[in-house]
Amino acid sequence: MKMKRITVMVIFAALALPGLAAAASRIADQEVAVFEQGAGQCQSSPGDAERIRCVAEALQRLGSGLQRGNVSEIAPQAAPAMRKAGADVAAARTRPAALSALNRAQAVVRSLAAKSSGEATAVYGHLMRALSRAQAAIGGRG
């Protein structure tokens, strides 16, 4: 009887995973859309220091937002990666240093996407979009 219950649980988990992945991707997309609005406001900030601070705070909020729903089940490193990116950008004192921090964050997210299951790929794709927007807001390529 115990073996039957375990088999049923495994089958249920396999059937539920695509739904969880789609929900996680939607949540990540929503959080990145909110981030992009904030990054747009950052871009209009006067001076590099203000833009860097604004983008760093927006990345921190994105990291916090990614903890809701089931994003952490599908892509467990998504929220910590964005919070770390925000901390690294906040520590930057110049525009080149902030852009370098964002480049490192993109490399980390690319690595996470490559190592993750297929279900998490969409979530990490949304994060790459956010980091690209952060670069544009600070004044780099985007």
**CA separation for the pair 5, 22 (Å, rounded):** 26
Domain boundaries, the chain: 2-138
The structure tokens 């833009």 sit at 51
- C-alpha distance from residue 94 to each of 52, 105, 115 (Å): 8, 17, 32
Please check whether residue 109 is in contact with residue 128, taking contact to mean a CB–CB distance below 8 angstroms. Answer: yes
pLDDT 10s digits, 104-119: 999 999 999 999 878 8
pLDDT 10s digits, 60-96: 999 999 987 788 888 999 999 999 999 999 999 999 9
What is the pTM for the complete model shown? 0.82
Return the pLDDT at 19: 78
Please check whether residue 48 is in contact with residue 95, taking contact to mean a CB–CB distance below 8 angstroms. Answer: yes
Please check whether residue 75 is in contact with residue 116, taking contact to mean a CB–CB distance below 8 angstroms. Answer: yes
Task: Look at the chain and count its residues.
Answer: 142
